[in-house]
A = this chain, B = another copy of it.
Amino acid sequence: MTLKFAILGLLAENPMSGFDLVGQFDVGMSVIWPAPQNEIYKILRALESEGAIRVADTGPRGRIVYAITPEGRTALTAWLREPTDYTMRYEPMLKAVFMRQATPATRRAIAKADGAFAAEQLAKLRQADAKRRAERKPDPRADARRLIILFYEAMEKWAKETAED
């Protein structure tokens, strides 16, 4: 159900095909909310039959470009206003809960891997951020990027603390 709105939200930014959406999730979206390729196509068909999106264009190789409809936009903003579900699913945090039960070597290995991942994501995000700023166009994702950067900074800090104990 949440994935449906992830897709609807992306289509609200720009008309896109299923293939384009797969690319969006590959590029960075899946860090926040993953989407298997075939789920995307299923949801597109569902959203279309609900009238939230419509076929805006077709292209070579069976390409189907979808665009959000006014009803879809209404549904999206209604979802944004609904109470948020704050339950998270994040394996690194779960491993952190149990890591004291493992050997110090394993603990350090986990912390190191977490830190490396966070650093890698931060590098990407900061680069994207700099690029966007240089372009001086309004950036609809700026808020989210800021939140995600703060999040990975916290994770990196934690990893450093935890690796050296």
- The answer to whether B147 and A93 touch across the interface, beta carbons within 8 angstroms, is yes
- The answer to whether A33 and B154 touch across the interface, beta carbons within 8 angstroms, is no
Q: How many residues of A contact B (CB 8 A)?
A: 61
Interface of A is mostly: helix
- The answer to whether A80 and B100 touch across the interface, beta carbons within 8 angstroms, is no
A151 contact from B84, B95, B151, B162, Cβ within 8 A: B151
Complex Cα–Cα for A151 and B90 (A):
12
Complex Cα–Cα for A68 and B94 (A):
18
A34-B89, A92-B84, A102-B77 are known contacts. Are A97 and B141 too (CB-CB below 8 A)? Answer: yes
A–B pairs, 28, beta carbons within 8 Å = A2-B89, A9-B94, A9-B101, A31-B86, A33-B89, A33-B93, A33-B94, A34-B89, A77-B102, A80-B95, A80-B106, A86-B92, A86-B117, A88-B88, A88-B90, A93-B148, A96-B143, A98-B140, A99-B144, A100-B142, A107-B143, A143-B162, A146-B162, A147-B155, A147-B162, A150-B154, A150-B157, A151-B154
